[in-house]
């Protein structure tokens, strides 16, 4: 039961998010084979039917493709992976900016703070 799932949200989108992260971070390299539904369900501690649904949805988005007899694979379309990565990164930044705004930091002040921390961290 090692996947930290939020118990207040439906499970299948959370699994999709998790596997998408594993794809864009390279944990599952492009073109590699995904473990079986059952293995993944067991690893995540979820119902195999739910895992099946998440994987079918990911196939629909194109991040995964299935080969009739040999299982599911990660897309080899690098530009697609790159696009997904950028979309997720932008979302993360937007969320971050919203939080900063909430605690009273303007965009300008936030960017200055980032630059300051960047300088401090450089030896």
Partner 1 sequence: MNPILECRDLTKRYGNKTALDQISFSLMPGKIIGLLGPNGSGKTTLIKLLNGLLVPTEGHVFIDGLAPGVETKRFVSYLPERTYLNSWMKVCDIIGFFQDFYEDFDKARAYDMLKRLNINPSDRLGTMSKGTKEKVQLILVMSRRARLYCLDEPIAGVDPAARDYILSTIIQNYDENATILISTHLISDVENILDDVVFIQNGHIRMIDSVENIRFNQGKSVDTLFREVFKC
| CA dist list (Å): 13 to 17, 66, 79, 90, 97 | 6, 19, 23, 19, 24
Beta bridge partners of 74: 64
Residue 84 CB, nearest approach to partner 1 (Å)? 24
How far apart CA 37 and CA 26 sit, in angstroms, is 20
Binding status of residue 60 toward partner 1 by CB under 8 A: no
* Rounded CA Rg of the chain: 18
Binding status of residue 66 toward partner 1 by CB under 8 A: no
Candidates 5-13, 77-85, 89-97, 101-109: pick the segment binding partner 1 (CB under 8 A): 5-13
- By C-beta, is 8 or 69 nearer to partner 1? 8
Binding status of residue 10 toward partner 1 by CB under 8 A: yes
Residue 6 CB, nearest approach to partner 1 (Å)? 9
Q: Of residues 25, 32, 49, 112, which one binds partner 1 by CB under 8 A?
A: 49
Beta bridge partners of 71: 67
- By C-beta, is 9 or 107 nearer to partner 1? 9
Binding residues for partner 1, per CB under 8 A? 1, 5, 7-12, 38, 41-42, 44-50
């Amino acid at each position: 039961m090692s996947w930290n799932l939020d118990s207040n949200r439906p499970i299948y989108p959370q699994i999709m998010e998790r596997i998408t992260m594993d794809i864009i971070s390279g944990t599952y390299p492009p073109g590699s084979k995904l473990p079986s539904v059952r293995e993944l369900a067991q690893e995540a501690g979820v119902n195999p039917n739910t895992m099946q649904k998440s994987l079918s949805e990911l196939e629909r988005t194109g991040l995964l493709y299935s080969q009739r007899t040999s299982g599911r694979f990660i897309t080899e379309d690098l530009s697609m992976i790159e696009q997904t990565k950028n979309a997720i990164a932008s979302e993360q930044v937007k969320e971050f900016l919203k939080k900063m705004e909430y605690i009273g930091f303007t965009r300008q002040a936030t960017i200055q703070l980032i630059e300051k921390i960047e300088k401090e961290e450089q030896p």
